[in-house]
Amino acid sequence: MQRALIAGLVVGLGAYSVLAASPKIEAAVKTFKAVGADPAKLKTFCAMSKAMDEAGDKQDQATEAKIMGFMKRLGPDFETAWNAADGVDDNSADGKAYLAGLDELADKCPQ
């Protein structure tokens, strides 16, 4: 009986590790949490998010420059985290973890 329980636990833990996000996505989510915990960076992120929302699909050079300015102020770690999901399927474990981390950060911005 104990043997079956241990075997089941080992199989379950193995399956969990397959479902876990990749180290690159985990690092991105950790960066998003750090930005959310830093009031100055959170304010910058919220301003960037607002500018992106206002621009919608019609981004011109001035808007793109403004957004890149926010990105630079957030730092290279944030820029790496922002780009971490390039080529990742939103419905994959990585995609879901990434979007959840980004949503958690965006939810900290005032509406």
- Walk along the chain (111 residues) in steps of 10 and give the mean pLDDT of each run: 43 44 94 97 96 84 92 97 94 96 96 78
Q: Which domain holds residue 93?
A: 22-106
**In a domain? residue 50:** yes
pTM for the model stands at 0.77
**Given this model, what pLDDT does residue 7 score?**
40
**In a domain? residue 87:** yes
**In a domain? residue 92:** yes
Q: What secondary structure does DSSP assign to 42-58, as a single string?
A: HHHHHHHHHHHHHHTT-
**In a domain? residue 15:** no
**Given this model, what pLDDT does residue 55 score?**
87
**Given this model, what pLDDT does residue 32 score?**
98
**In a domain? residue 14:** no
**In a domain? residue 74:** yes
**In a domain? residue 73:** yes
> Whole-angstrom Cα distance, residue 26 to residue 22?
6
Q: Helix, strand, coil proportions of the chain in percent (round to 5)? A: 75, 0, 25
Counted domains in the chain: 1
**Given this model, what pLDDT does residue 56 score?**
83
